[in-house]
Amino acid sequence: MTMRVRFAPSPTGYLHVGGARTALFNWLLARKQGGVFVLRVEDTDRERSRPEHTQAILDGLGWLGIDWDVGPILQSEGVERHRSDALRLLEEGKAYRDFSDPAAVRAEAEERKMHPSRVAREKADAMSVDEDAARAAAGDVFAVRFRVPDGETRFTDIVHGEVRFGNDDIDDLVILRGDGTPIYNLAVVSDDAESQITHVIRGADHLSNTPKQVLLYRALGLPEPVFGHVPLIHGTDGKRLSKRHGATAVGEYEGQGILPEALVNFLALLGWSPGDDREIMELEELIAAFSMERVLKKSAVFDTEKLVWLNGKHLAKKPTQELVDTLRARLVNDSGADAVRLQDPDWMSSLVDLIKSRSRTVEDLADNAMPFVREDLVYEDKAVGKHWARDPETALMRLEAVTVFLADAEWTESALEEGLRAMAERLGVGAGKVIHPLRVALTGRMSSPGIFEVLVLLGKAHSLRRIEDGMARIRAL
């Protein structure tokens, strides 16, 4: 039998990293096993579901590279089937009509210290068959509750092993509301059976729903899927991941310059291990290595620092041309950028090669590119204060000496390095005493790539103009 898995998000918000991790595990399993990945949008919450959220979820999955073989199926399109399943359970005596007022039932249950569904069952059982049918025929509003049988519900979870729930701890769940709309647990069972889902892989927060769904599968005579509940994601403080830990939506990480392959790599390692010491893994490696047997039971920790570290590793591996295109897209609308240089493929390739090892995110890459692509430099106060303002006269003297040397210098890294170091020696100072004020003049920053590489990339005319601008600023201090 072909493996069929599904991801079933609710379009009541954007694609959360927890949902993305669940989708990824299902997708990896399907691709590893040659199975089918079904995407179902659970849009039956009419008040909170939004088309823009559905689109954001689809966009997020697409950005991560998670494609689907079937769907997106809208859960709302199956409402008549859900209702039919509920009414079949009612006809077979496996469910009952609940005509009671919910508020009154809750109050009585609180007074008697019992679950509201037990009160509802008592009232339903006290009603004769004829009275029940008459009230329904008269149009009295009723919900339909599933009658949980006595005993124990067991199922095997491929992460947690055999799981048991005493049925006394499971309430008679509502499967059809008073307005005729289906409730989550019934809709999920009906939809998964309709899509012939063989494996339900989802977060451990759904574990408590599983015995209810298992009972519904059995009552409806439907084949039960294999269940696997993956660990929840916590922040570094041990608490369940939420907005207080920072970004939680996939789209936010895209905006922060995280690469999709890095986020996929990171999410795959949240609660799963390849069985060796690999951490930096491409998609093909993840597919080849993935198995549910290596999914952990304990909660996974979302460490943003590790994500950024992984991102830097993936960024460094990307072909230069891909990063050129990415960087150009980030900078093309910057009004201060040198449009001519942005369109020079050779110069942009040289720029990316120079700065990518210093960049951990695409945002870093864009920031590190700024001193090279901006027409007007932005000077860091700290850099000016340390290397110019402490001793303006000396800084000016050294930059003037650099200007004299550069005017006739051979414009190669080796010649520039040899000449500037020799000049520093003639001045009786270490090379850093010359290089640091020069770096501020060329980049406006405390740190940059190697100064000789910077000079070559900027070019002679551009470098000399920046040094002149820098000396003018020093004179104005």
Q: CA torsion sign, 301 to 295 to 309 to 370?
A: negative
> What does the block give as tokens for 321?
């041309």
3-state secondary structure of 227: strand
CA dihedral 278, 279, 282, 284 (to 10 degrees): 40
Assign residue 216 a region (left: φ > 0; alpha: ψ between -120 and 50; beta: otherwise): alpha
Which of 243, 297, 317, 318 is catalytic? The answer is 243
Q: Is 123 assigned a catalytic role?
A: no
Rounded to whole angstroms, the Cα distance separating 418 from 421 reads 5
Rounded to whole angstroms, the Cα distance separating 350 from 345 reads 9
Other residues' Cβ atoms within 10 Å of the Cβ of residue 140: 12
Q: Which residues contact 181 (CB under 8 A, 6 or more apart)?
A: 44, 79
Rounded to whole angstroms, the Cα distance separating 458 from 441 reads 12
Question: Contact at 8 Å (CB) between 38 and 197?
Answer: yes
Catalytic site residues? 243
